[in-house]
Structure 1
Amino acid sequence: MVQAAILFILAGLAEIGGGYLVWLWLREARPYWYGVIGAIILVFYGIIPTLQKFPSFGRVYAAYGGVFIILAVLWGWGVDKKMPDTYDWIGAAICLVGVTVMLWAPRQ
């Protein structure tokens, strides 16, 4: 469970961080190498989920989506300095519950 959480967090940071660098390059006229580094980081984002022990690609990526939402809210708060409101936190909590159900519900 801990390894799964760490991998989800690493994947999220890679996706958000890489995407953020590309965003800065294209939307805020940062140097082209922001985009290059962002693209390289996004490749790592594609690799990290393959290290998960869950057998289903769809389940891993669906659950990761919930983790991504939480990390994106935190990134916006910490990096973009946009304070999440109550509805952001409620939505993130709902996503976390969904991730927990998807990954660790008892199955046959």
Structure 2
Amino acid sequence: MKYLCLVYLDHEHWSACPDPVCADYAGQLAESGTLVAGEALHPVETATTLRIRNGQMQLYDGPFAETKELLAGFYLIDARDLNEAIRIAGGIPPAKYGSIEVRPVRQLQLES
């Protein structure tokens, strides 16, 4: 089953974990066949949020929600179950500075 591990960090810890450390862990997951995809994100100030209301697109600079911790990146993994996904997420280096949200990926239900 696929799980999305969302990495959240506050402004103070945004760069606390060096890129090579995260890349090394992603490399280990890739070698084991567990990593499906993973990327780091630019700081939240570079974000654009959009909403469609009444057929009109509205654009906002930055994130729409005000939160203390901001989405910094993700690891999409393939794990046997939630317990294995949590074990893998526990190794994600930025977990020492922020938090990792582990969420199962849902398959879209297509109409026949």
Which structure features the higher share of helix residues? 1
Which structure features the higher share of strand residues? 2
| TM value normalised by structure 1 | 0.24
Kindly indicate whether structure 1 or structure 2 has the higher relative contact order, using CA contacts under 8 Å at least 6 residues apart: 2
| TM value normalised by structure 2 | 0.24
